[in-house]
C-alpha cells in the first residue's frame, strides 16, 4: 500500500493518542523518516520540548527567510542551548531571492496578494520542499482554533503538494492549554509574544494584534486573505 493510501488508516490509530504518544508512535513506525518544521512559535516550542524530553529520533528544522525578527533568531539559539540539540536551518535559493527583488523591489510584497504569495513561495515554500524531500511524516504545530482554514484539519492528513503525511499533534489544544504547558515546563518563547505578537512570521509582514482581533490578524495585516503563506494551504 502506498504512503498516500495509508494515511487514513494512520489517522484512526493516532487520533486518540496524546501529542507525546503520537510523536513516539510515528518515530517508531517510520524510523529516520519523521521531521518537524519549527517556526519557533509557541506551539512549535511545545513540540520541540516533547521531542527533546523523550529523545525521539525526529529531525527538527526551521526556515530562515532572510527577513525574520532578531528575536526569532535569538530564540533559535536559546532553544538549541536549552535542549542540547541542533536545529537544521534551510535558506531560500540566492538566485531566486535576487530575481524576485530585482523584479518587485525589496518590499514589493505589499503591492498585491500575488506578489506576497510569490515572495512566500521563494522564501518559504521552496526551502520547505527541500527540507521535506525523502521523508514520510511531517510534524507541524498547527492548532484548529488558529484560523478558519485550520479548523477543518485532522491530526493526520495527506499533503498532496509535498507528497507526505502531515501530523498535527496539537490540533485540538486551546491557546490556554498551550500557555499552561509552556509555563509549567519553563519552555523558552519569543519575547515578542509579550508585546502582543501572537503569530510571528517575517518582520515586515507581522504586527501585534489589537484586543479582540483574530490570532492571525497580525500576519499580512495590509491584505484581506486567508492569512496563509502556502505552507499549509488546503
**Residues with Cβ within 8 Å of residue 9, at least 6 apart in sequence:** none
Instruction: Give the catalytic positions in this structure.
Output: 229
**Residues with Cβ within 8 Å of residue 72, at least 6 apart in sequence:** 40, 190, 192, 200
Q: Cell numbers 515586515 label which residue?
A: 204
Give buried/exposed letters for 161-189 (b at 16+ CB in 10 A, else e): ebebbbbbbbbebeeeebeebbeeeebbb
Task: Give, rounded to a whole angstrom, the gap between the first and last alpha carbons of the chain.
Answer: 24
* Residue 115, burial from CB neighbour count under 10 angstroms (0-12, 13-18, 19+): middle
The Cα 86–Cα 88 span in angstroms is 6
Amino acid at each position: 500500500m502506498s504512503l498516500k493510501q495509508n494515511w487514513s488508516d494512520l489517522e484512526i490509530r493516532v487520533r486518540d493518542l496524546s501529542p507525546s504518544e503520537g510523536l513516539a508512535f510515528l518515530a517508531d513506525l517510520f524510523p529516520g523518516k519523521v521531521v518537524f518544521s519549527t517556526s519557533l512559535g509557541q506551539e512549535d516550542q511545545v513540540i520541540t520540548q516533547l521531542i527533546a524530553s523523550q529523545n525521539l529520533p525526529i529531525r527538527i528544522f526551521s526556515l530562515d527567510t532572510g527577513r525574520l525578527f532578531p528575536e526569532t533568531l535569538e530564540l533559535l539559539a536559546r532553544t538549541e542551548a536549552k535542549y542540547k540539540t541542533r536545529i537544521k536551518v534551510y535558506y531560500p535559493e540566492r538566485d531566486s531571492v535576487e530575481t524576485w527583488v530585482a523584479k518587485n523591489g525589496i518590499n514589493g510584497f505589499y503591492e498585491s496578494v500575488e506578489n506576497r504569495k510569490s515572495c512566500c513561495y521563494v522564501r518559504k515554500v521552496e526551502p520547505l520542499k527541500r527540507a521535506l524531500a525523502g521523508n514520510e511524516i511531517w510534524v507541524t504545530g498547527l492548532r484548529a482554533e488558529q484560523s478558519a482554514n485550520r479548523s477543518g484539519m485532522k491530526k493526520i492528513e495527506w499533503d498532496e503538494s509535498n507528497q507526505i503525511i502531515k501530523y498535527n499533534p496539537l490540533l485540538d489544544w486551546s491557546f490556554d492549554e498551550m500557555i499552561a504547558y509552556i509555563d509549567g515546563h519553563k519552555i523558552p518563547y519569543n519575547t515578542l509574544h509579550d508585546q502582543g505578537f501572537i503569530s510571528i512570521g517575517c518582520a515586515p509582514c507581522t504586527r501585534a494584534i489589537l484586543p479582540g482581533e483574530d490570532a492571525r490578524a497580525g500576519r499580512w495585516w495590509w491584505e484581506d486573505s486567508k492569512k496563509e503563506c502556502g505552507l499549509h494551504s488546503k
